[in-house]
Amino acid sequence: MHSFEFYNPTRVIFGRGTVQQVGPAVAREGAHKVLLIAGGGSIRENGVYQAVTQSLSVSGINVVEAWGVRPNPELALAQQLVQIAREQQVDSVLAVGGGSVIDTAKCVAAGVYVDNLWSCFEKRCPIDKALPVFVVLTISASGSEMDPSAVLTESDQHRKWSISSPVLYPRFAIVDPSVQTSLPWRQTVNGAIGVLSHIMATYLVGSFEETTLALGEGLMRTVIKMVDQLQADHADYGARANLAWAATLAMNGLSSAGIEDSDWSARSIESAMSALHPEVAHGAGMAVILPAWMTYQRENNPGQFQRWARTVWGAGTVEEGITAMKTAFQRWGAPSTLGDLGIAAGELRDIAFNALSEGPLGKLRILTARDVVELLKPVL
């Protein structure tokens, strides 16, 4: 057990119908004028937009709306929204959406206090101040609703980078699982696979952090069980709710407490890929990369890989565990090859170049560009 600090001040307001609490929650935080950031319009179809704006209106909160955040959100849009936030003099930012919307909102919240937002991603500018960030979550996947980080893509050079600061913890996050009932099945699955990959990024580097590993195993088993239940009955609120809460907990610091390191190289490879193919959803990319990455990495920290196979999948060997995971992903209808994602052999070198452009890749072992290509070949 290594030393750590655990600090997570986000207030999670969880349950059916909690979307209607957004107005009072914003008012309780002392905000008066919010920049409401949203995606492509699905929140108009599932009733969330109407519930949010009505609740804000009743609580006397002024609202400036900003739409158009897409998956793999872009720096350019965040920069535009910073301008709007300044011009409109909002005192807070309300994300109504999933990880892309929340991450954009965090970047806008920080961006109003800096000259050049991208310089923060380049670690040339500390983030010590931000507008308060509020969240109404519409898809459980990223865990961004209860974490202090944000990822943006800088399109010119295909860089998908991240920032993190305690001031970016959302003040509150409303997680109403019932609004996720209308999600396309594909998005539910992609979200769940993303959640598993988040936990595994630290879990597989662990060794003797028994408490944290036990929590991670509990979360992984729960995610798998709940997706299976949801596949049998898309309307199962209990399964949806437990999946949502597990997704939030997967990124809030619990599943990494005391584990000295983490290995986000699978995610970095996925980011490198989706920076080139913005149409690839994170979870879909991870469905292909995660089993390939595990197969390539299984001899590093092998005891932990074996523990994962045994406790999460009831498997006797690591190979059987990976096969069980692939079988689950396929059962859920996730893609299993790069071809399924529309990515061809000729692109592997670009993906590798991109994955390594930020610096060394991996902790279990340092992956070279050649490693990235070799790792991906079996899933072409």
Binding residues (CB under 8 A) for its own copies: these are: 1-18, 177, 208-212, 214-215, 217-219, 221-222, 225-226, 237-239, 241-242, 245-246, 249, 254, 257-258
Cα–Cα dist 280/276, whole Å: 9
- Closest approach, Cβ 176 to its own copies, in A, equals 9
Cα–Cα dist 224/216, whole Å: 12
User: Which residue in the block uniquely carries the two structure tokens 């974490």?
Assistant: 147
Cα–Cα dist 203/261, whole Å: 10
Between 6 and 185, CB nearer to its own copies: 6
**Residues sharing a CB contact under 8 Å with residue 115, sequence separation 6 or more, in sequence order:** none
Between 93 and 195, CB nearer to its own copies: 195
For residue 250, give both structure tokens: 């997967």
Helix H or strand E segment including 62: strand 62-66
- Closest approach, Cβ 103 to its own copies, in A, equals 21
Q: With CA atoms as reference, report the closest residue to 187 among 249, 99, 266, 104.
A: 99
- Closest approach, Cβ 209 to its own copies, in A, equals 7
How many other CB atoms are there within 10 angstroms of residue 191's CB atom? Answer: 26
Amino acid identity, position 375: L
Between 66 and 226, CB nearer to its own copies: 226
- Closest approach, Cβ 3 to its own copies, in A, equals 2
Using DSSP bridges, classify how beta strands 149-154 and 92-97 pair: parallel, antiparallel or unpaired.
unpaired
Q: With CA atoms as reference, report the closest residue to 70 among 93, 44, 104.
A: 104
Phi and psi at 361, nearest 5°, equal -115, 120
For residue 76, give both structure tokens: 């350019």
Between 219 and 338, CB nearer to its own copies: 219
- Closest approach, Cβ 346 to its own copies, in A, equals 43
**Residues sharing a CB contact under 8 Å with residue 352, sequence separation 6 or more, in sequence order:** 272, 369, 370, 372, 373
Between 10 and 268, CB nearer to its own copies: 10
Cα–Cα dist 193/325, whole Å: 10
Between 16 and 44, CB nearer to its own copies: 16
- Closest approach, Cβ 296 to its own copies, in A, equals 29
What DSSP letter does each residue of 258-290 carry, written as one string? T------HHHHHHHHHHHH-TTS-HHHHHHHHH
- Residues facing 159 on adjacent strands: 154
Return the sign of the alpha-carbon dihedral for residues 149, 150, 151, 157: negative
Between 1 and 84, CB nearer to its own copies: 1
Between 75 and 183, CB nearer to its own copies: 183
- Closest approach, Cβ 223 to its own copies, in A, equals 9
Between 212 and 271, CB nearer to its own copies: 212
172-175, strands of its sheet edge to edge = 62-66, 33-37, 92-97, 133-137, 172-175
Between 153 and 202, CB nearer to its own copies: 202
User: Which residue in the block uniquely carries the two structure tokens 């994300």?
Assistant: 95
